[in-house]
Amino acid sequence: MNMLIRFFIMVNLLKQQLKQQSVSEHLAIETLTTPTVRSYRILPHDMGFRHHLPNYRYLSFIELNITQWLMTCCHQKGIKNLGWVIAMQEMVYLKEIRFLDKMSVNSKLVGWDKKYIYFETRFFVKHQLMGVGMTKFVLINGKGKCAPEVLDMMDEQLSDAIESWNKHQVAVKPA
């Protein structure tokens, strides 16, 4: 329930900020790759039974950041009704995030291909890296899936890490 409250607070604050910005025809690569950074305090309802932030909560925080990034990009392009669906997500947990820690979530566009967009998210507490996540998602509109070109992401921008990750995904799929 608290993620829904956080989501609605984020959306309302973002809408207020975006009203002051103008709509542009093209998104600059700098706009697309500007990190989305949000901070959260870990509250009792975020906690798992082992007294630290459980795995599924990390993924929820990633979703909040990607939603903020997409809303900002759509506003700047004047696009309405563009959503996204996760195709694959992976987390590397380095340290536990505990009750009342102030966590900073830093998400950044790291690449795209003809179908998918790739984000890397880093979790920090007191400037110490606590976890890293990779998210692969597809954009959708009212007609179904749409290419990243809708956000001016032309050609392919894939790093070695993304290509390796995609090869692993293919390898783990059943034959």
Q: What is the pLDDT of residues 114-149, one digit of tens each?
A: 999 999 999 999 999 999 999 999 999 888 888 888
Closest CA to 59 of 123, 153, 124: 123
Architecture per CATH, domain 2-172, reads as: Roll (3.10)
d(CA 103, CA 163): 29
Residue 54 has pLDDT above 60, yes or no: yes
Sign of CA dihedral 5, 57, 83, 112: positive
Residue 7 has pLDDT above 70, yes or no: no
Q: Report the predicted TM-score, pTM, of the whole model to 2 decimal places.
A: 0.82
- What integer is the mean pLDDT of 7-36? 65
User: Domain map of the chain by residue range?
Assistant: 2-172
Provide the strand spans (E) within 113-150.
117-125, 128-141, 144-146
| pLDDT number for residue 170 | 81
